[in-house]
Amino acid sequence: MNREKFAWSLSILLIAILAFQIPGTLAQRDDDYHFVRTLLDIHRQVTINYVDPVDQQKLQQGAIDGMLGKLDPYTVYVPPANQEQFESMLEGSFRGVGIQLEQNAKGEVEVVTPIEDSPALRAGVQAGDIITRVNNQEVSNLRLPDVMKKIKGPDNSKVEITVRHPSGAVADLTMTRQEIVVPTVKGYRRGDDNAWNYWASEDPKIGYVRITQFTSDTYKKIKGVLDQLVGQGMRGFVLDLRFNPGGQLEQAEEVVNMFVKEGVIVRTKGRNRPEQIFRANGQGTLPDFPMVVLINEHSASAAEIVSGSLMDNHRAITVGNRSFGKGSVQEVMPLGDSEGELKITVAYYYLPSGRLVHRKPDSKDWGVDPQISVPMNTPEEEALLREQSDLDVLHGPISKTTTQQTTQPATAAATQPADPQFDAALEEVTKMVGNGGKFVKLNIATRPSTEPVISPAQAPQ
């Protein structure tokens, strides 16, 4: 066989081998070609023949939204204009002066609360202040988003805000913008100095922490709190994950690892993602004290991983009602220069028991089922949310030194509204303390659940 015939035969053989090895690739390219061609044909016809002029940017966004809308609520396109805001949500931080604002019934921009250890708090901004001017420009007739744009700005730049205090006094306050990390680790209630008190009971000493979201510093903050509580003789602990929409997976892993010495924390697996198993490493594990985790139908994602993993590893008792069922893993994929990002679901979370956390349309089992079921009705949940919001408010400026934890335990006297879930959790952990740490299931009469405060259309992400 001459060289030309040999080369030709070898080429045919290689093509045949490749055809058998990657049949899906060629088919996929063919499907992609037909899809794009159809889309381009439709776009051209609409652009030329539609009765009214069309906004090309809205047309593009509509096409993307229509395609992704056939998937799940968590797969979304993030255009370049929204990337900074989106990344701030993921990190739990933003750049500004640290003020939580709302537009009141009179149309005024009112301060709900300054954020802890923020430039606004240090400058003297108070809850209830009305913002009238920003950098000497009148803002009384502006919408809230427009006022927020004027207040925000690059790090280390200054902004002057004119406020009218609840007392009626007017003040010009100058502050320097910086990166603001939103606090996610909260206590049982605040002391007179605005510092969180993390004790739910004095006798026995029962600690309490509420995590509102898992952001980049959540583990560091809760570890500091728990180290101090353990050092002060804590005998039991309540972790409140109600209304927690989730957050960063690695933070959830770190929190579980703090309580569990060994074993599986969580598994992830997807169609095009190999199974990943995250295990406890036994480093920095806290003492084995009795523990209860509070969850409800608004606990999602990372909150479900923490509560479900602690339950499956027999480290904590869960109390409340079944969690939301958002057990999917999203990755953020850049789409090229100035084209935005795609946040896409690539895998699902599985608890150590093998249970799929995610609630699919035909699911019967999802999320985390508490071992002690204590449903709350809508008025009770609304009252609890109002109480939690009130606790977040800082009343007047406080110094850095007063943001440290109060060392004197508080009594369990209820300043909070009726909270049967917390009451059940405190009773259970108190019984475990008195029973050598063993689980003693309470005889609690359950009530039928009412419609949740957050509808499925407002699913946390």
Q: Which of 201, 299, 301, 309 is catalytic?
A: 301
Q: Which of 240, 309, 326, 328 is catalytic?
A: 326
Please state, in angstroms and rounded to a whole number, the distance separating the CA atoms of residues 152 and 17: 59
Which class for 75: exposed (0-12), middle (13-18), buried (19 or more C-beta within 10 A)?
A: middle
Q: Contact, 452 vs 330, CB < 8 A? A: no
223 belongs to the catalytic site: no
3-state secondary structure of 298: coil
Tokens read off for 392: 């977040």
Please state, in angstroms and rounded to a whole number, the distance separating the CA atoms of residues 251 and 216: 7
What is the pairing mode between strands 273-279 and 372-373?
A: unpaired
201 belongs to the catalytic site: no
Q: Which of 240, 312, 328, 419 is catalytic?
A: 312
Please state, in angstroms and rounded to a whole number, the distance separating the CA atoms of residues 274 and 264: 16
312 belongs to the catalytic site: yes
What H or E segment, with its residue span, contains residue 62?
helix 56-68
* Length of the chain, in residues: 461
Please state, in angstroms and rounded to a whole number, the distance separating the CA atoms of residues 41 and 58: 17
Alpha-carbon distances, residue 174 vs 328, 393, 401 (angstroms): 44, 21, 22
Please state, in angstroms and rounded to a whole number, the distance separating the CA atoms of residues 408 and 197: 8
Alpha-carbon distances, residue 64 vs 52, 55, 57, 59, 69 (angstroms): 21, 14, 11, 9, 8
Q: Contact, 94 vs 116, CB < 8 A? A: no
Question: Which residues carry out catalysis?
Answer: 301, 312, 326
